[in-house]
Amino acid sequence: MPPRITLLVDATGVGMSAVDILRDALVGGRCRLIPVTFTHGDRLTEVNRELRLGKAFLVSRLWALFQTARLELPADHPEAAAMARELRDFELKADPNGDLKFGAFKVGTHDDLVTALGLAVLIDPGGRGAWSV
């Protein structure tokens, strides 16, 4: 029997309605869907089988994995260059309320690859990482 797959879905932009449609499509399969809502700050919490994830937490974890050589990107792959650009474009900003926000704020910048990779490495099946299943 193939291993069960855990799929983390960014529910922040698409909303829970889209997550519910995806969940319905996966019923009976070997896939466990976990909605992730991005919040400000540097925390990761689980609420009612959903994750609340601060972008600062996600990016800090990626930086730590890269700096300790536990995560490497293929040097000659075009998506690796795009990922490196996205990581460089990430900024920390404080809003008028003093809340810190992480993201790619400059016009024309994106953080889709950073978000996808951050979600992909968030789970540690062995229970030693950020969040375990």
Q: In this predicted model, what pLDDT tens digit does every residue of 24-82 receive, in sequence order?
A: 888 777 888 899 998 877 889 988 889 999 888 888 888 888 889 888 888 888 888 88
Predicted pLDDT at 52: 94
Structure-derived torsion over alpha carbons of residues 114, 122, 11, 80, reported in degrees to the nearest 10: 20
Tell me the pTM.
0.76
Question: What percentage of the chain has pLDDT greater than the value 70?
Answer: 77
- Please give the average per-residue pLDDT across 95-107, as a whole number: 64
From CA 54, how far away is CA 39, in angstroms rounded? 5
* Res. 130 pLDDT band, cuts 50 70 90: low
Predicted pLDDT at 123: 78
CA-CA-CA-CA torsion sign (133, 11, 40, 83): positive
User: What type of residue is 123?
Assistant: I
Predicted pLDDT at 133: 47
Predicted pLDDT at 132: 53
Q: What is residue 98's three-state secondary structure?
A: coil
Burial 40-51 (b: 16+ CB within 10 A, else e): bebebeeeeebb
For residue 32, the surrounding DSSP H or E stretch is strand 31-39
**Structure tokens belonging to residue 133:** 């299943």
* Res. 125 pLDDT band, cuts 50 70 90: low
Burial 58-70 (b: 16+ CB within 10 A, else e): bbebbeebeeeee
Q: Which residue has the higher pLDDT, 5 or 51?
A: 51
